[in-house]
Amino acid sequence: MGKIIVLRLGHRVYRDRRITTHVGLVARAFGADGIILSGEHDENVIKSLKNVVEKWGGPFSISYEKNWLKIIRDWKNQGIVIHLTMYGINLPDIIEKLRELYKQNKNFLIIVGAEKVPSIIFELADYNVAIGNQPHSEVAALAVFLDWLFTGKELTKELQNAEIKIIPSSHEKKIIRKKK
Amino acid sequence: MGKIIVLRLGHRVYRDRRITTHVGLVARAFGADGIILSGEHDENVIKSLKNVVEKWGGPFSISYEKNWLKIIRDWKNQGIVIHLTMYGINLPDIIEKLRELYKQNKNFLIIVGAEKVPSIIFELADYNVAIGNQPHSEVAALAVFLDWLFTGKELTKELQNAEIKIIPSSHEKKIIRKKK
C-alpha cells in the first residue's frame, strides 16, 4: 500500500500546541505512517508524540520542516497531495476516486492547516476535500478522512512494539503492560 | 428521531478553550442537536459557538451546567448515556446496537471528557465506547462516533437559517451570503 503522510501547516506554539498534538495523535491512531510539522518549531509537540509512539506502538514517523512549500512540491513527484478544507469537494463526492488511487499504491500527502491557509495550497493540492462544508476542526477532519479512506479498518489495526495495550471493557479501565 | 446531546466534561479555561470549541463545532457540524458545557464556566467558548450557529445555521443548542452528575442522572430517565473513552468497547463491536437504539427514537447523551474523567462516569454510562483503543482526541472521537451513527449522512445535511454557505469547489474558496 502507498504511504500516508500528514503535513500540519502553520503551527503556532502558544495557540496551537494542543490542537497540533491532537492532529498528530489522530494521524497515528487512524493509520497514517507519519506526520511532518511545519510553522513554528515546537519541541514539546514532537516530544509528546514520540512518547506516545514509544508507549503505545508504531511505526509512526515524526519530523519538522520549516519549508512546507518544498515538501509539497517534492511530494507532487511521488504521490497525491490532498488538502483538507471546508471549501473543498465534499468527501462523499470524492472518496471513491481517492480509495481507487490508494489501491493503486499511490502515496498521499494530507495537508491540514491552522486558521489561515495560504491560497497557493488550494492551487497546489491535487484534491481539496471537505469533510462536510461546515466549519469544525482539522482534528476531526483528519480522523474522518482517514476513517473513510480505510473504511473503518484502522480502528482494529494492531500497532507494533507497544508497552501498553488496552483490553476493551464495558465499565472499567483495563490495560496490560508488556516488557519490551 | 431521538435527540443527540453532547456533554463536555471538565473544561479548563486556560488549557481547553480551543479543544472545547472544536468539540462544540464538531457536535454541530456532525449532526448533534446541542452541547452542554461543564467544568469551568467559559463565556468565550459559548460566544464562539453561538456566533457559528448565527452565521452558519442550526438549530443547535448551547448551554452551561456546573452539576454534570445531575445532568447524567436526569438523562438516564429519558435516554441512553454514552461515554466516549479509549478504554471502552471498540466502536465496530457496538455500533449496530447503538444504531438500533437510535432508530427506536432513543435520546442519546454523549459524554466527552477532558484529561481525567471521574470513574463514576464509567459506571453511570450505559455504554463506554472507544473509537479505536488508542490515545487520540475527544474531538476526533466525537466526529467519528457521530459519523458512524449517522452512516455519513450528516456530511450532506443542510442546516437552517444560515447567513453563509459554501459552494464546494475543487480549487478555490466560494461562498454565498444570504440576507436573513
Tens digit of pLDDT for each residue in B35-68? Answer: 999 999 999 999 999 999 999 999 999 999 999 9
Mutate to test the interface with A, among B96, B134, B144 (most CBs of A within 10 A): B134
- Report the first-to-last Cα separation within chain A, whole angstroms: 28
Task: Tell me if B133 and A92 make a contact (CB, 8 A cut-off).
Answer: no
Please tell me the predicted confidence (pLDDT) of residue A180: 59
Percent of all residues in chain B with a pLDDT value above 70, rounded to a whole number = 99
Report the C-alpha gap between A127 and B164 in whole angstroms.
23
What is the least distance, in Å, from the CA of A179 to any CA of chain B?
Answer: 19
Backbone angles phi, psi at B4, to 5 degrees: -120, 115
Could you give the CA distance from residue A26 to residue A21 in angstroms, rounded to a whole number?
Answer: 9
Residue B114: what pLDDT? 86
> In this complex, is the C-beta atom of B89 within 8 Å of any C-beta atom belonging to chain A?
yes
Residue B91: CA count within 13 A, CB half-sphere? 25
3-state DSSP call for residue B57? Answer: coil
B169/A87 CB distance under 8 A = yes
Interchain contact A131–B (C-beta under 8 A):
yes
- Torsions phi, psi of B114, nearest 5? -90, -155
Q: Per-residue pLDDT for chain A (180 aa), expressed as one digit of tens each?
A: 889 999 999 999 999 999 999 999 999 999 999 999 999 999 999 999 999 999 999 999 999 999 999 999 999 999 999 999 999 999 999 999 999 999 999 999 999 998 789 999 999 999 999 999 999 999 999 999 999 999 999 999 999 999 999 999 999 999 999 875
**Average pLDDT along chain B:** 96
Tell whether A44 lies on the interface with B, counting CB pairs under 8 A.
Answer: no
* A144 closest CB neighbour out of B127, B132, B143: B143
- Residue to test with chain A: of B11, B51, B155, most A Cβ within 10 A: B155
Interface check B131 vs A, CB under 8 A: yes
Rounded Cα distance, B85 and B112, in Å: 8
Say if the Cβ atoms of B148 and A143 lie within 8 Å.
no
Which pLDDT score, from 0 to 100, does residue A126 have? Answer: 97
Instruction: Give the pLDDT of residue A115.
Output: 75
Q: Does B161 touch chain A (CB under 8 A)?
A: no
What mean pLDDT comes out for the span B86-104? 97
Nearest to B27 by CA among B10, B3, B47, B11: B3
| The pLDDT of residue A1 | 80
pLDDT at B115 over 90: no
Predicted local distance difference test score (pLDDT) of residue B178: 85
Strand locations in B19-126 (E): 34-39, 61-64, 79-90, 107-112
| Residue of A19, A88, A130 with shortest CB distance to B19 | A19
Q: Are A143 and B144 in contact (CB under 8 A)?
A: yes
Cβ <8 Å between A56 and B135: yes
> Helix H segments across A30-158?
43-56, 68-75, 95-103, 119-124, 138-149
The minimum CA-CA distance between B66 and chain A, rounded to whole Å, is 24
Mean pLDDT, rounded, for B68-84: 95
Q: Give, in order, the Cα–Cα distances in Å from B171 to each of A74, A132, B44, B157.
A: 20, 16, 33, 23
Phi/psi for A146 (5° steps) reads -65, -40
Residue with cell 497540533: A20
